[in-house]
Amino acid sequence: MTSKRRKSTLKPALDTDTAFSQRLMHWFDRARRDLPWRRTRDPWAIWVSEVMLQQTRVEAVRAAFERFVARYPTPESFANASDDALMLAWKGLGYYRRARLLRDGARVVVRDHRGAVPQDADKLAELPGVGAYTRAAVASIAFDLRIAAVDGNVERVLARHLALRDDVDAAVGKRAIRAAADERLDHDRPGDHNQAMMELGATVCTPQSPRCDQCPLAADCRGLAQGIVMTLPRKKPPRAPTLVKARVAVVRQAGGVLALRIPDGEPNAGQWELPGPGALVSVEENEFSARTRSRCRAGIEVGPVLAEVRHAITHHKITVVAHAGALRSRNAGSLRAQEPTDPDVPWTTISRKVFAAMHESESD
């Protein structure tokens, strides 16, 4: 057999790209998983799935997705959801702020687009919570628009295929990735192409132990040829974390414990947490009462330590010390009694960790 590789430089880019997408599509047609959001072309459902998938593994999204779209089948239905309903609908997925942004987006769809997700890439990008990635994903998967989606998976696949040594977080690296993604996009099946790239990154071209022997793109992968796959993509080193020693009080009342609904503007707004100065505020034990009073409008005295839990958010490493507490003011201010085990109360993750740790030490 003679090589089919062309020597001509007439249309080298096109030739290479066609082969790229053919190999990718052939692989995807065989390897694609049957997922609920791949059985619909409804742009709202696809939008929802993309937002969920940004933060959670496929398996966790499976159940949540079907429950969510059954409960909120249209942007309009979700636009009208209350904060509490939103929390419940998003339960188990974390990153509640994204659910709020999704609702903001749904509200704009209702207000500016008569409730229909706009079939236009620029209009999509104007929606709250829809950035470059989500815009590309929805536009290509729901509407067949020819826009390459670049998420972390795609970034990794391309950086390796190109042997791109630039920092992918810096402007030069971003431009290179973007250009490579656009160049390789399959114009006949843009939605499938984007999904295939992401699936390849998630299942074959994985961060730690890539299965290059199973990769449809290995033949012309320059990173593999140069033996630098594991070093890519290059990113700038993360910033050193800030250490926080936060404190909360466990004040038993009316069969539950006192809790604060986190005010708008603070992290985790709308969720419930144990009273204290806040999850990102370091305080000594003797400062607790004063700092808590200003935020919770209630006087709380703290006693013995019941539990310590650790939690990490962004560049904060938080140690939360949970004290037994007692209410000293006449009324509870902004605090309400809530049941720790009530599945309908959207406790913060830190609060749940505290309850779990207390439960463990009890059963010892």
Partner DNA sequence: AAAACGGGGGT
Partner DNA sequence: ACCCCAGTTTT
Stretch of 41-49, 151-159, 334-342, 356-364 contacting DNA, by CB under 7 A: 151-159
Near DNA in 276-295, by CB under 7 A: 280
Question: Cβ of residue 273: shortest distance to DNA, in angstroms?
Answer: 10
Q: Which of 13, 14, 63, 170 binds DNA (CB under 7 A)?
A: 170
Q: Where are the beta strands (DSSP E) in the chain?
A: 242-250, 252-253, 256-261, 272-273, 300-313, 316-327, 335-338
- 145 binds DNA per the rule CB under 7 A: no
In 3-state terms, the chain is what percent helix, strand and coil (to 5)? 50, 15, 40
Nearer to DNA by C-beta: 252 or 317? 317
**Binder of DNA out of 15, 95, 163, 252 (CB under 7 A):** 95
Q: Is 80 helix (H, G, I), strand (E, B) or coil?
A: coil
For position 130 contacting DNA by CB under 7 A, the verdict is: yes
Question: Which residue among 50, 155, 199, 273 is the active-site one?
Answer: 50
> What residues contact residue 327 under an 8 Å CB cut-off, 6+ apart?
251, 253, 258, 298, 299, 300, 335
Is residue 50 annotated as part of the catalytic site, yes or no? yes
**Two tokens, residue 347:** 């406790």
For the CB of residue 330, give the shortest distance to DNA in the complex, in Å.
Answer: 32
The least CB distance from residue 151 to DNA, in Å, is 2
Q: 79 or 302, CB closer to DNA?
A: 79
Closest CA to 17 of 210, 179, 203: 179
**Cα atoms found within 13 Å of the Cα of residue 197, Cβ hemisphere only:** 33
Question: Quick one: which of 21, 49, 140, 153 contacts DNA (CB under 7 A)?
Answer: 153
Angle at CA of residue 317, ends 313 and 320, nearest 5°:
100
Rounded Cα distance between 262 and 16, Å, is 54
Residue ranges that bind DNA, judged by CB under 7 A: 54-57, 60, 94-97, 101, 127-135, 151-153, 155-156, 170-171, 207-209, 239, 266-269, 271, 280, 310, 312-315, 348-349
Catalytically active residues, by annotation: 50
